[in-house]
């Protein structure tokens, strides 16, 4: 087989995100679910009687309410551990490789020679869980690469490491 037709198997990234990410994603989903539940119950209690102009609601409105209450509950129970099993990252001397998602999975590899900026962010909820996200902007039309839910200290070390690696390379990362 010629070198041009040989396929190169790409291994999965070596590191998982912080185990605290599962609780963070669960709490974040719970906040979203609470908003959805309040809206669903408010519509059921206040809006539907006005629409149907009767004290009794059709049976199917109760089915819709139950679905609106159970759907977010299933999401907050299923999504976090599934997402934790998928989210992985690795930085080598040559490239950054990430895999993320849970319904659709995104795998990205970018040479470090293409890195333009390295940013670390923490939202208010992330600070509670001592987590941070790392965003690496590259000279790519695909956009930045983000690693969500790293331990805050790991994110800080990676920013420093990536800054040193990319600062030592010549060129303008384009």
pLDDT tens-digit readout, 11-65 = 889 999 999 999 999 999 999 999 999 999 988 888 777 666 666 778 888 899 9
**Cβ-contact 95, 109 below 8 angstroms:** yes
Contacts of residue 166, defined as CB under 8 A and 6 or more positions apart, other chains included, come to 112, 113, 115, 118, 173
pLDDT tens-digit readout, 106-117 = 999 988 888 888
CATH code linked to domain 88-168? 2.30.29.30
pTM of the model: 0.81
pLDDT at 7 over 60: no
């Amino acid at each position: 087989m010629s070198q041009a037709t040989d396929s190169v198997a790409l291994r999965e990234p070596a590191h998982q995100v912080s185990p605290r990410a599962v609780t963070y994603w669960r709490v974040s989903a719970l906040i979203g679910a609470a908003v959805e539940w309040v809206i669903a119950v408010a519509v059921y209690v206040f809006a539907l009687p006005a629409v149907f102009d009767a004290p009794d609601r059709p049976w199917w409105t109760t089915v819709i309410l139950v679905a609106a209450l159970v759907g977010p509950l299933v999401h907050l129970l299923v999504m976090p551990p599934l997402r934790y099993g998928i989210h992985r990252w690795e930085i080598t001397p040559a490239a950054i490789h990430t895999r993320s998602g849970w319904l659709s999975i995104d795998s990205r590899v970018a040479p470090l020679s293409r890195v333009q900026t390295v940013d670390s962010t923490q939202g208010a909820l992330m600070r509670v869980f001592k987590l941070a996200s790392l965003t690496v902007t590259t000279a790519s039309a695909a956009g930045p690469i983000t690693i969500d839910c790293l331990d805050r200290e790991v994110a800080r070390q990676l920013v420093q490491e990536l800054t040193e690696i990319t600062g030592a390379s010549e060129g303008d990362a384009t």
